Structure 1
């Protein structure tokens, strides 16, 4: 187990380096000039050159990249010559647009993304796995056909359609729910957990409609195959209660593909639900990443890209560990 974790940790570091290098290279090859954007509207070539020096973009590519990566393991100096300041570890740099520490931007955006991810995760997992299991148990019945049909509709609906429909019906027409506000980013705030739930309920539903549809279909297919296995017939022949056969033997054996999907989806969602955050105006990581990419804000884009990659890789490690706990046949080598 320890060797496995150490090996995956080494892979994590190498993958993050690769992701950071690719992102850094793409920005260097792109048409946007952050120095011109940071200079403002009334810009002269002299001021653009000064901005490039202040942003550290006058250095060769590899020196810029090495300086950025050095800040991830130790403090470094940033700023124009004569006006440099110490950027404490972990130094993600300063925004090209606002001159704000990127770590502060991430700290401000991450709670919004976490609020969206936690609620949506619970909603789509419970509904997706529960309805998929129900459809498998009622195979061929009207209930099964209705659930499968609803899942087919849900998986084909893009987030913009679902999100705008929910806003139109529940906010603009029925006035049952408030429009998402940026003042609530935690259930432990002054407004309380109920206000937090109401604030993020529509984004949760929009994400759950899309994700749970896939979970329903995968759960149903795997559980039907599992219920036809010999060990399930043996458990039934021994006279075990149907609930015991279903949940203790069937679900445990058929849930492993769901664990894989869940790990990947959690990692991707924590990296920022871009479309959902844009539709509901939630200033999370995805919302911030889009604005940074459009404006050519390299430090912010780099930080969010690496954070998203970190979440995905850690989620994959968690999936491998969960496999060993769920299925005794799996051993971590």
Structure 2
């Protein structure tokens, strides 16, 4: 187990290193020195200011040395001109001159809150309906559950979001306009302010889990050991939940790991639709402002969450399925 974990951590580190190298090359080297200086300096930039920016960003140094300074700053911090950028240093924004790491940390709670609530809702309802459809395979309950899943997964978030706001907020007044509140300040306001985005994300993601849970459960229920358990007189609840569902969990966890990585990296369309200032909205503003350090920071953070989610999934395989040999 320990050897597997070390190997996976080394693999994650290597992939993140490659991602950071490609990102650095695309945003700085491929953009050209003049473009980087112009974006950092602004419109009213004198030759003296351009030279200062070039020196502060280390653009006068070789490309590999620039990358080494960038990657070492993430782990040990670095000096950028007269400023000290502490660990983990992702640079300073060209748009507002703010520390990129601090900006991402400020937006992170919104994205995490959005992801946690959505995952709880679409996993609970999606898996529940999938198990119910598998237990009632071929019957009306199965057709209603799969039909509802197909319908809910057909509408994109930029259609559901404005529709739900118009219906539940403006017309019926059942919900508050989506807004992020600190969980520690008021848990009820935190939940009520994000309930509508949670429902939208649940509606879209739930369809995959209903169909996936149903199909895997149907396959597992046809296995010989399940028929043996039924023949021994075990209750239906024990057969379906304790034994069959555990055998069907592996593909569900695989898809969940990908979804969590995407959600934690920032749900760009959802945050833009509901005007929530998370990592996804930060990615949009950094692109529109041509803010290279902020774009790089968001890409590195998104890649980190995706790799971490996949690492957790690999470790969970051993817990879910004893046949998996991590060694």
TM range (shorter): over 0.9
2:250 equivalent to 1:248? no
Find the counterpart in structure 1 of residue 302 from structure 2: 308
Contact 2:19 2:303 in 1 (8 A): yes
- Output the aligned Cα RMSD: 1.8
Find the counterpart in structure 1 of residue 38 from structure 2: 36
Q: Quote how far apart the aligned CAs of 1:233 are.
A: 0.4
Q: Quote how far apart the aligned CAs of 1:209 are.
A: 1.0
Cα-to-partner distance string for 1:34-82 (whole Å, 9 max, x where unaligned) = 4323433434555444434344344443222111011022231112xxx
Cα-to-partner distance string for 1:162-205 (whole Å, 9 max, x where unaligned) = 112111111222122122224x1x3212xx11111110011111
Query: 1:152/1:45 Cα in 2 relative to 1: closer, same or farther (>3 Å)?
Result: farther
Find the counterpart in structure 1 of residue 119 from structure 2: 121
Contact 1:37 1:295 in 2 (8 A): no
Partner Cα separation in structure 1 for residue 280 and residue 214 of structure 2: 32
| Corresponding pairs, count | 325
Partner Cα separation in structure 2 for residue 142 and residue 45 of structure 1: 75
Partner Cα separation in structure 2 for residue 296 and residue 62 of structure 1: 23
Find the counterpart in structure 1 of residue 150 from structure 2: 152
Contact 2:130 2:212 in 1 (8 A): yes
Query: 1:150/1:57 Cα in 2 relative to 1: closer, same or farther (>3 Å)?
Result: farther
Query: 1:46/1:78 Cα in 2 relative to 1: closer, same or farther (>3 Å)?
Result: closer
2:274 equivalent to 1:298? no
Query: 1:85/1:14 Cα in 2 relative to 1: closer, same or farther (>3 Å)?
Result: same
Query: 1:88/1:153 Cα in 2 relative to 1: closer, same or farther (>3 Å)?
Result: same
Partner Cα separation in structure 2 for residue 177 and residue 59 of structure 1: 55
Query: 1:18/1:243 Cα in 2 relative to 1: closer, same or farther (>3 Å)?
Result: same
Partner Cα separation in structure 1 for residue 108 and residue 149 of structure 2: 30
Give TM-score scaled by structure 1 length: 0.92
Q: Does the residue aligned with 1:99 lie in a helix, a strand or coil? A: coil
